[in-house]
Each structure stands twice: as structure tokens, then as C-alpha cells.
Amino acid sequence: QQPVQSPQAVILREGEDAVINCSSSKALYSVHWYRQKHGEAPVFLMILLKGGEQKGHEKISASFNEKKQQSSLYLTASQLSYSGTYFCGTEGGANNLFFGTGTRLTVIP
Amino acid sequence: DTGVSQDPRHKITKRGQNVTFRCDPISEHNRLYWYRQTLGQGPEFLTYFQNEAQLEKSRLLSDRFSAERPKGSFSTLEIQRTEQGDSAMYLCASSWGAAEAFFGQGTRLTVV
């Protein structure tokens, strides 16, 4: 039930954009996105519910296509502070929360 | 409220010993999750409570692992007869319903 994320890793220069994808083999009720910095706990970014909505958080936004059971996280004009590992969490019918394997994002000057 | 707290932050134990970890969720949260995370991997689901009821337990979890959440407040995760493969960060998270989950700082377990 673990969602699959791609890419596994990406390196960006400051100001560049990135897209991180998350897909599940199960029907989804919601998708959560988190960022984790080395040695710290995952920090919540946003949650998307059924309905194909798109949300934004400053220069970070996400979309959720429930029919395709996919979500994408968009990072625009990346900043050094965006570096970290991004995880998607998917919630299916049982109301539990499964996380993907993560995408390591490195932003360099 | 200071968020989700976990205790201890670090635990070193000898193989074969039992260990118990505690998680205090955000007080009004009804859901509580336990995850295990190893280096370079995502949080691996272990178990999940809604109030005091344990609703799901990972099939990957051996019988050496048990969790409780008495009265729907704090939770404990016990690992019996620890093995070196149990070495990992154990994360607890809580949420109100399907809203965002907040993570604690985790308990790092090292089995020697």
C-alpha cells in the first residue's frame, strides 16, 4: 500500500523549478505532503482531498488526480531552504496513512 | 500545547532485551500513528489508533511488537526480544480525523 514517488533524487540551482510525483495502486481519499530535513521529524506541507483540488503554499503547490490516484508537488523558484526529503502520504479507505520512499531534493547556490 | 512528544529520544539496548517507547500526542487529537524509519527510507507504517482502539497493524510487524493507547491518550510501543534489525528511528504522529498529522521528534533505537 506504499505509494511510489519519483524521482528519487533531484538537484536544483536556486531559482529553478521541480516536480515530485506520487502514485498509488489503491483508491485514495487524501494525499499529504511532508518535508523532512536531516535529523528532524517530517513537517507537514499540505493536504489534498478528493475532488482534484490544487493547493498552494507560497511557492509550493500540489495537485491531486483521484481518478489516476496520483498527486504532484510543484516547487517553483526554489530556495536553499527547500532542501530536504519530500514524502507523500496517502490515505485510503481504512483511514491510515502510508508514506512513500521519499524524494531527496538538494538546492545549490 | 507543545506538540507531539516522544520519550526517550535515544535508546541503546542489548540484543534480546525488551524496550518500551512512549508517545504523548497533541491533546485533542484522536488518531495516533506509529512508524519506523531507517536511513534513506520513508516512514514505514507500523500501527494506528483511533482513540483507544487499535484499528490496524502492519502485516510486516512481528509478534514481538505491541502497542497500546489506554484511554485514548498517550501510547506505548513495546518491542520484545530486540534484534539488530530493529535498530531504527521510531516516529509517532497524531492528527484530528483526516487532517494533517504532526510528528514527534522520534526515538532512535540502537540494538547492539
Express each pLDDT in B13-30 by its tens digit. 999 999 999 999 999 899
Q: How far is Cα B63 from Cα B16, in angstroms, rounded to an integer? A: 14
**Nearest C-alpha of chain A: how many angstroms from B18?**
25
Please give the pLDDT value at position A52. Answer: 59
A chain contacts of residue B45, beta-carbon cutoff 8 Å: 1-2, 96-99
Please report the number of interchain residue pairs, chain A to chain B, with beta-carbon separation below 8 angstroms.
61
CB proximity list for A29: less than 8 A, separation 6 or greater: A49, A50, A91, A92, A93, A95, B98
Mean pLDDT of B68-92: 95
Closest residue in chain A to residue B57, using alpha carbons only: A96
Express each pLDDT in B75-86 by its tens digit. 999 999 999 999
Per-residue confidence in pLDDT tens, chain A, 109 aa: 789 999 999 999 999 999 999 999 888 888 999 999 988 999 999 888 877 566 666 789 999 988 888 999 999 999 999 999 999 998 876 667 889 989 999 999 9
Q: How far is Cα A57 from Cα A28, in angstroms, rounded to an integer? A: 22
The verdict on a CB contact (< 8 Å) between A101 and B41 is: yes
